[in-house]
Amino acid sequence: MEVKSKINTLYQGGLLLFSIAPSAIVFLVLIAAGAGFLWSLASALIILFAIQITGLLYGSGIIRNPLILRISFWTLKMMQPVLSMPDHTPEKMVIAMNNRKAISECSRKFTGDETLILVPHCLQNHECSHRLTFNPESCERCGKCPIGDLLEIRSRFNAHFAIASGGTSARRIVERIEPSLIIAVACPVDLSLGILDVHPVTTVGVLNEWRNGPCFDTWVNPAELEAALEMFLQ
């Protein structure tokens, strides 16, 4: 509950910061036009509360379009240096909000053929001689990276599996396969932007582990992907 509360505070805080500018502009314009202090203040507060209520409606699932989530995200990104937030705080907020909504709004089970497991190329061990981004099936399951275990999970659920070399590659894969459900592994930046990019496709994000720093021999716990697949698939 504490983590959920922090995520909600970040999300609504981003919207509050965003709403200050349009509310102030409306207030000043109405004052300059001679509308009166109370009327100008009331109009400004209506805008502020309208943005907050829209945010609550998105969080509760009544509004599905992630525009309001984008607004909160980019506002927090711009204010991150001023607020001294830890690295990737806005990105992790997007991922957490998205996953929570995906779980709460899932009203049906997907088939394996509708599902894409999408992982980044940095999961592959740097010493591997096989180009798995082009042919994941050439993986020899040596255990030096998690790709072999992920392929075994893919086989059990009969899902699509792809390794992306970057954001453009990921978008092309999604356009080609046209999945209804994506279980995606990536770093906070790629995962958050990808989630916002593929709407309205149901997406569950799993953060990779930086055991050797970013984008180099990263790792993911296969059990996390398996749990997501069991939750969403028939």
Between CA 158 and CA 169 the distance in angstroms is 22
User: What pLDDT, on a 0 to 100 scale, did the predictor assign at position 1?
Assistant: 55
User: What pLDDT, on a 0 to 100 scale, did the predictor assign at position 104?
Assistant: 79
Query: What tens digit of pLDDT does each residue of 40-64 get?
Result: 999 999 999 999 999 999 888 788 8
User: What pLDDT, on a 0 to 100 scale, did the predictor assign at position 132?
Assistant: 87
User: What pLDDT, on a 0 to 100 scale, did the predictor assign at position 151?
Assistant: 96
* Rg, C-alpha atoms of the chain: 21
What domains are defined for the chain? 2-91 (no CATH), 108-232 (3.40.50)
User: What pLDDT, on a 0 to 100 scale, did the predictor assign at position 109?
Assistant: 85
Closest CA to 87 of 210, 189, 185: 189
Which amino acid appears at position 65 of this protein? N
| Alpha carbon distances (Å) from 229 to 118, 140, 207 | 13, 24, 16
Between CA 122 and CA 152 the distance in angstroms is 19
Direct distance between the N- and C-terminal alpha carbons of the chain, in angstroms, rounded to an integer: 29
User: What pLDDT, on a 0 to 100 scale, did the predictor assign at position 3?
Assistant: 67
Q: Which stretches of the chain drop beneath a pLDDT of 70?
A: 1-3
